[in-house]
Amino acid sequence: MPLERRRVYYSGRVQGVGFRFTTQHLAQTYEVSGYVRNLADGRVELVAEGETAELQLFLDSIHHAIGDKIHAARTEGLPIGEPELQGFEIRY
């Protein structure tokens, strides 16, 4: 299956509530790589890459686990390539 890379900007009550830790923990159960980080404007940015179905399952699991904190999620596709993503980390 083809790989896909997506960037998601989450807004709502997404900082200071364990959002990044929960996302990193969930990523360990899926074949995805990428990162999650807080932004200065109060949003959280997630960049993840994986097979399309696996990536969607991962993103769905975030909404299932902590969707009550999310007021909006804006998703955009990104090209696969540089920088290469390995593992899943919290960035600061």
How would you write the pLDDT of the chain (92 residues) with one tens digit per residue? Answer: 789 999 999 999 999 999 999 999 999 999 999 999 999 999 999 999 999 999 999 999 999 999 999 999 999 999 998 888 999 999 99
H or E stretch including 73? strand 70-78
Do 21 and 75 form a contact (C-beta atoms < 8 A)? no
Query: Can you list the domains of the chain with their CATH numbers?
Result: 3-91 (3.30.70.100)
Q: State yes or no: is 37 an active-site residue.
A: no
Annotated catalytic residue within 7, 38, 43, 91: 38
Q: What is the DSSP letter of 68?
A: G
pTM: 0.95
Pairing, β 70-78 against β 3-12:
antiparallel
Annotated catalytic residue within 5, 6, 20, 43: 20
Q: Going by C-beta distance under 8 Å and a sequence separation of 6 or more, which residues neighbour residue 50?
A: 3, 4, 30, 31, 32, 33, 58
* Residues linked to residue 56 through DSSP beta bridges, in sequence order: none
